[in-house]
């Protein structure tokens, strides 16, 4: 969605898939976050397993690399007793020229119930829902959206800040190529937060939903309740967008000193993977301000909640 497009009105029934936040209401998303709290309790038990998804089979279909998202979805599904089919493009017949559609139809012939898909092209997840007629969870499609990352970021912020109402969240780095920035710019304002996105002009889009855009790092961080650093998405970047890496670091790296421009104790988030000493001072990731590992831990609970809502259903 662009800033000029009207959002799709949310319906009483949540959408069948989580492709982005279009069609979802604040209440429906808050309901997922509430369920994630219950899933956290499951994960704190000695036996981290419930029968909620017994009989379901979930496919994780990754046409792009991933550590956190794929593994946490697979664990999330197994923690709820689903069977998991794990597909990686690099070891598949995609290398022989099989298309996205034929690959997905082939998997579907094996009798699957839901698909977690990561792909380098926007639109494939929407098409997959049409091709398969089953719940699709977008695990990152090109620059466009990474909704479960934004949900786990929101969950982690809520855990730390108590509420997002009136909070300022600064997102700093390569905004232009970031699906994480787009999904957070969509979700966090729905939950009451103000998002300020900051980076060099060549790495900022013309607009980013309701987010304020700035090239001024001090302005972005000033009075921020939380700061999120993003890596340079070199795999999606045309050459020549930065004068040099040292100049980028000198202008936009989150350092301990610069974090001092934010509110005292404002937490630092990063979706990972991190490039230490590029987008953030490496030691900051291990400091008490960092929520990076908490984000990863919460990812599992949030993804359990998403799978539960889409497969078992829970009306808000």
Residues 52, 55: Cα–Cα separation, whole Å: 9
271 touching ligand CP, by CB under 6 A: yes
Nearest partner of 290 among 263, 261, 267, 313, judged by Cα: 267
Q: Which stretch binds ligand CP (CB under 6 A): 67-75, 167-175, 255-263, 306-314?
A: 67-75
142 touching ligand CP, by CB under 6 A: no
Q: Which two tokens stand for residue 234?
A: 């070199």
69 touching ligand CP, by CB under 6 A: yes
Q: Which stretch binds ligand CP (CB under 6 A): 66-74, 210-218, 226-234, 308-316?
A: 66-74
Smallest distance from the beta carbon of 298 to ligand CP, in angstroms? 12
Residues 287, 268: Cα–Cα separation, whole Å: 9
86 touching ligand CP, by CB under 6 A: no
Please select the residue that binds ligand CP; options are 273, 282, 293, 313, rule is CB under 6 A: 273
Owner of token pair 């998002």: 195
149 touching ligand CP, by CB under 6 A: yes
Mapped onto helix, strand or coil, the DSSP state of residue 194 is: strand
- Measured N-to-C along each axis, helices 147-161 and 292-311 cross at an angle, to the nearest 10 degrees, of 120
Q: Give the helix/strand (H/E) hosting 266.
A: none
Q: Which two tokens stand for residue 197?
A: 């996105």
Nearest to ligand CP of 10, 285 (CB atom) = 285
Nearest to ligand CP of 10, 77 (CB atom) = 77
148 touching ligand CP, by CB under 6 A: no
92 touching ligand CP, by CB under 6 A: no
90 touching ligand CP, by CB under 6 A: no
Residues 4, 207: Cα–Cα separation, whole Å: 10
Task: Note the residues at the interface with ligand CP (CB under 6 A).
Answer: 66-69, 140, 149, 271-273
């Amino acid at each position: 969605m662009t800033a000029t497009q009207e959002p799709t009105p949310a319906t009483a029934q949540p959408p069948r898939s989580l492709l982005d936040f279009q069609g979802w209401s604040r209440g429906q998303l808050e309901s997922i976050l509430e369920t994630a709290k219950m899933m956290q309790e499951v994960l704190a038990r000695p036996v981290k397993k419930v029968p909620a998804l017994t009989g379901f089979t979930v496919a994780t279909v990754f046409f792009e690399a991933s550590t956190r998202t794929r593994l946490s979805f697979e664990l999330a599904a197994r923690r709820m007793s689903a069977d998991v089919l794990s597909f990686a493009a690099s070891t598949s017949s995609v290398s022989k020229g099989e298309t996205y559609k034929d690959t997905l139809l082939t998997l579907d012939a094996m009798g699957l119930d839901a698909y977690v898909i990561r792909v380098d092209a926007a639109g494939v997840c929407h098409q997959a829902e049409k091709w398969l007629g089953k719940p699709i969870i977008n695990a990152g499609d090109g620059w466009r959206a990474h909704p479960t990352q934004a949900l786990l970021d929101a969950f982690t912020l809520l855990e730390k800040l108590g509420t997002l109402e009136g909070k300022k969240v600064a997102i700093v780095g390569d905004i232009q190529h970031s699906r994480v920035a787009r999904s957070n710019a969509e979700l966090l304002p729905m939950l009451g937060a103000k998002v300020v996105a900051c980076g060099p002009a060549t790495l900022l889009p013309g607009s980013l939903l309701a987010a304020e855009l700035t090239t001024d790092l001090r302005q972005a961080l000033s009075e921020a309740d939380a700061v999120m650093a993003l890596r340079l998405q070199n795999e999606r970047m045309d050459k020549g967008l930065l004068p040099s890496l040292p100049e980028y670091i000198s202008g936009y790296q989150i350092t301990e000193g610069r974090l001092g421009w934010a509110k005292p104790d404002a937490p630092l988030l990063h979706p990972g993977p991190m490039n230490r000493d590029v987008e953030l001072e490496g030691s900051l990731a291990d400091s008490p301000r960092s929520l990076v590992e908490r984000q990863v831990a919460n990812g599992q609970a949030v993804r359990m909640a998403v799978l539960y809502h889409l497969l078992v259903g829970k009306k808000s």
